Amino acid sequence: MKTLNKIFLTLGVAATLGMSSCVNDLDLQPIDPNEMTDVSQDINQAFAGVYLAFVTSGPNGSSPVAGFDGGMGSFQRALYIGEELPTDESAWVWDPERYGRINYGFVTPDLEIVTGMYFRLICNIALCNEFIKNAQDGYFAGEGAQNAAEYARQARILRAGAYFYVLSFYENPPFALEDVPMGADPTQPGRAAVYDAMVSELEDIVAYYKANSTTTYYGFVGLDAAESLLAKYYLNGEVFAGRADYDKCLAHSQAVIDRLGHGGKYGNGLAPSYSCLFGANNQQYAIGGAADVHEVIWTLPSSRYQNPDGTVVDNLTSWAGSTFLCAAWNKSNGTQVALRVPTNDAAYKDKIGEDLLFTDEDGVRHMYQYYGDATAYAEAKAAYDKAKGDDAEAWKYNVNEYINNVPWAFDPTATFHMSTDWMNYDENWGCLVTRKAFVTKFIWNDTNYSVSDDTRVAFWQTSAHGFTPENKSLVGDDWGNNGYLAWKWTNWMFDNNGNVDYKLSAERVPKTGAAGGDYAVIRLAEVYLMAAEAILQGGGGSQADAVKYVNYIRQRAYGDAYTPWSSVNMAALQDERCRELYQENCRRTDLIRWNLWCTGYTWDWKGGIRSGTNLPEYTKSYPFPTNVIATTSLKQQTGY
């Protein structure tokens, strides 16, 4: 990624938002100083660098902070660490030295993750600031220079996206726009002032787009991203500025719904299934994508696929986004035995009608292999006939569960049953588990929390596979016995009906390395839920509209088992938002907005106690890193 490295050098990112005075302490440096390039003649190259900072880990795939985990310091993972790990949705069960007690709701300024969250947000803002300033000053010439104003407008949207999380993470946030001199420390004008600046800028951008016909291309932000983000700001107006701006949230949410809320399977602009939004070919549902609905309003592209000749195309490689959310929930070892079995002995076909090869010469089973060779098929049949007569092998032919319409057998002597083939992805870190309080928010058909009509848990590893919903601890050594694995992103490709396309997945998506799907930052489903919440909070509209919007979400989630609600209150909406948007970097912000972060709601290990306890008020804010406080004029957050 030498291009990004050149942009960091040329645009002087480290010199904005106080980063210049942190350079020595954080050892912020480009990887190859000899790669400096003048990008004044290539605005497209510089503009690409702005977007790359929101997707990739850093220059050359690592972090520009020497010795820092580039994956941890990427935009999506920084947000996940801050928004999800301290909540009921998930916990990180390894690396306590680097993560500290964040699983319990506490951090300290010296933690690496505190540095990573702050650095990624501030660095992205600084990069946007420098690009905007250079575009305004006429720095760019040559091909593409005529697009400078539009590119700067999009950089402002991205900057506002970063500032949203700055406002959420810090009660006294740092602030600087493109007019701050390079090398100057940012100011701390107060949360409300930053909020006012960002909503004013987004209002201007939205007004411009509505007055001027423009096209938003795949992977870029435009009118819908700007207006959805603006609605998201207004939804949190009470926390950010002490103002109930729910009427403005509803107005802008409704405008987005009016533009995007039509077409598709359900006629409301939502993708045909929940799972297909988090698969390897989910980019088709983004604005500018190939599908007939564009639910994903702001996407972080990271498409990865395999050409027919076997070559792998990595459009953007990142250890964040879909890769992170596939690998971190995944773990497989020899203690978990789950094997694919046939459903029709006579034809040797599986449920989807494709020939099976049960074992190779080493006794290892493989999924989704296609054999046109008669000899190979005969060998497979002979191996099956032989094994079927062996009592010790009998369990392999008893179907315990259909997973993605494929039958599987579980070894009764194994503690856990799991296969990386269930997600079509071999990278497995075993870092994340979910908590029982979150599990019980879903509607289950049994007391063991193993069967649900809610398709949003379709890929979870549950008690049906030997896992426990209880969180006896939040440490990695107890993995398998301290929480469910709440899979949401997978490496499958899905067809137009939202079903797994096994053949296309086998042909086009590699099972190792980076996963194939994009990361959705804002979806139309969230806009529907924002509109419903704004209505319930007195922002206008009607109860009927709120119910309708929530039922749109539920209809897709339950499919044939869907029963519409006739009414909705805040408690029900809060739970539905949790179920729909889990792992999408909303949860901590939501709990704080609902006054449920410190008191009023407990979850497993909240406050460091297994049954949960209240959190102190100061934990509503994260601290600035120790090195930043030591080398700038910024004042530390209250309580740290």
Give 485's strand partners.
Answer: 461
The yes-or-no verdict on residue 530 having pLDDT over 90 is: yes
Task: Tell me the C-alpha to C-alpha distance, in Å, between residue 580 and each of 249, 436, 496.
Answer: 19, 17, 21
398 contacts 341 by C-beta, under 8 angstroms? yes
The yes-or-no verdict on residue 391 having pLDDT over 80 is: no
The yes-or-no verdict on residue 365 having pLDDT over 90 is: no
Q: What is residue 483's predicted lDDT score, i.e. its pLDDT?
A: 97
pLDDT in tens, 597-634: 999 999 999 999 999 999 999 999 999 999 999 999 99
What would the DSSP string read from start to end of 128-186? HHHHHHHHHTT---STTGGGHHHHHHHHHHHHHHHHHHHHHH-SS--B--TTSPTTPPP
Q: What is residue 366's predicted lDDT score, i.e. its pLDDT?
A: 42
Chain centroid to CA 414: 32
Q: What is the amino acid identity at position 509?
A: V
pLDDT category, 1, cuts 50, 70, 90?
very low
pLDDT in tens, 421-459: 889 999 889 999 999 999 999 999 999 999 999 999 999
What would the DSSP string read from start to end of 211-274? HS---PPTT---HHHHHHHHHHHHHTHHHHHS---HHHHHHHHHHHHHHHS-BSTTSBS--S-S
Q: What is residue 34's predicted lDDT score, i.e. its pLDDT?
A: 35
pLDDT category, 549, cuts 50, 70, 90?
very high
Separation between Cα atoms, residue 214 and residue 600, nearest integer Å: 46
| Cα torsion through 310, 316, 319, 323, rounded to 10 | -60
pLDDT category, 363, cuts 50, 70, 90?
very low
The yes-or-no verdict on residue 499 having pLDDT over 60 is: yes
Separation between Cα atoms, residue 466 and residue 473, nearest integer Å: 17
Q: What is residue 338's predicted lDDT score, i.e. its pLDDT?
A: 75
Could you give the 3-state DSSP secondary structure of residue 523?
Answer: strand
Chain centroid to CA 285: 15
Q: What is residue 335's predicted lDDT score, i.e. its pLDDT?
A: 59
pLDDT category, 111, cuts 50, 70, 90?
very high
Separation between Cα atoms, residue 622 and residue 605, nearest integer Å: 19
- 446's tokens: 């049994």
Q: What is residue 81's predicted lDDT score, i.e. its pLDDT?
A: 96
Rg, Å, the chain Cα set: 25
Mean pLDDT of the region 172-181: 95
418 contacts 403 by C-beta, under 8 angstroms? no
pLDDT category, 507, cuts 50, 70, 90?
confident
Q: What is residue 382's predicted lDDT score, i.e. its pLDDT?
A: 66
Separation between Cα atoms, residue 281 and residue 260, nearest integer Å: 20
pLDDT category, 358, cuts 50, 70, 90?
very low
The neighbour count for residue 562, using CB atoms within 10 Å, is 13
Torsion sign (Cα): 418, 419, 423, 428: positive
Mean pLDDT of the region 89-95: 95
The yes-or-no verdict on residue 154 having pLDDT over 70 is: yes
The neighbour count for residue 137, using CB atoms within 10 Å, is 10
pLDDT in tens, 26-63: 333 333 333 445 778 889 999 999 999 999 864 444 55
Q: What is residue 581's predicted lDDT score, i.e. its pLDDT?
A: 98
Task: Tell me the C-alpha to C-alpha distance, in Å, between residue 105 and each of 108, 398, 547, 611.
Answer: 11, 44, 33, 14
Separation between Cα atoms, residue 404 and residue 413, nearest integer Å: 24
Q: What is residue 386's predicted lDDT score, i.e. its pLDDT?
A: 66
pLDDT above 70 covers a percentage of the chain that reads 82
pLDDT category, 485, cuts 50, 70, 90?
very high
Q: What is residue 418's predicted lDDT score, i.e. its pLDDT?
A: 87
pLDDT in tens, 576-602: 999 999 999 999 999 999 999 999 999
pLDDT category, 566, cuts 50, 70, 90?
very high
489 contacts 76 by C-beta, under 8 angstroms? no
Q: What is residue 33's predicted lDDT score, i.e. its pLDDT?
A: 32
∠ CA 118-122-128, nearest 5°, is 155
Secondary structure of 351-400 as H, E, C letters: CCCCECCCCCCCCCCCCCCCCCCHHHHHHHHHHHHHHHCCHHHHHHHCCC
- 435's tokens: 């908590």
191 contacts 241 by C-beta, under 8 angstroms? yes
340 contacts 367 by C-beta, under 8 angstroms? yes
pLDDT top residue among 251 and 308: 251
The yes-or-no verdict on residue 123 having pLDDT over 70 is: yes
Q: Which is nearest to 207 in space by CA: 227, 233, 235, 237? A: 227
603 contacts 438 by C-beta, under 8 angstroms? yes
10 contacts 182 by C-beta, under 8 angstroms? no
Could you give the 3-state DSSP secondary structure of residue 1?
Answer: coil
- 628's tokens: 């930043």
Task: Tell me the C-alpha to C-alpha distance, in Å, between residue 516 and each of 10, 311, 506, 520, 623.
Answer: 31, 14, 12, 13, 34
264 contacts 507 by C-beta, under 8 angstroms? no
- 201's tokens: 């800028």
- Is 507 exposed, middle or buried (CB count within 10 Å of its CB: 0-12, 13-18, 19+)? middle
Q: What is residue 151's predicted lDDT score, i.e. its pLDDT?
A: 97
- 625's tokens: 């890193």
Separation between Cα atoms, residue 484 and residue 465, nearest integer Å: 10
The mean of the pLDDT values for the chain is 85
- Of 211-215, 392-396, 544-548, the poorest mean pLDDT is in 392-396
The neighbour count for residue 393, using CB atoms within 10 Å, is 12
Residue with tokens 């690009």: 131
Separation between Cα atoms, residue 519 and residue 51, nearest integer Å: 14
Q: Which is nearest to 605 in space by CA: 478, 415, 442, 426? A: 478
Burial 215-238 (b: 16+ CB within 10 A, else e): ebebbbbbbbbbbbbbbbbbbbbe
Q: What is residue 5's predicted lDDT score, i.e. its pLDDT?
A: 36
Q: What is residue 56's predicted lDDT score, i.e. its pLDDT?
A: 83
Residue with tokens 């005969």: 378
The yes-or-no verdict on residue 344 having pLDDT over 60 is: no
Q: What is residue 340's predicted lDDT score, i.e. its pLDDT?
A: 64
DSSP state of 65: B
pLDDT above 90 covers a percentage of the chain that reads 67
Query: Phi/psi at 241 (nearest 5 deg)?
Result: -140, 0
- 276's tokens: 């297909």
- 406's tokens: 């494929």
∠ CA 218-220-223, nearest 5°, is 105
Separation between Cα atoms, residue 368 and residue 375, nearest integer Å: 18
- Of 23-37, 125-139, 558-572, the poorest mean pLDDT is in 23-37
The neighbour count for residue 311, using CB atoms within 10 Å, is 8
Q: What is residue 9's predicted lDDT score, i.e. its pLDDT?
A: 32
Separation between Cα atoms, residue 221 and residue 150, nearest integer Å: 11
Mean pLDDT of the region 6-21: 35
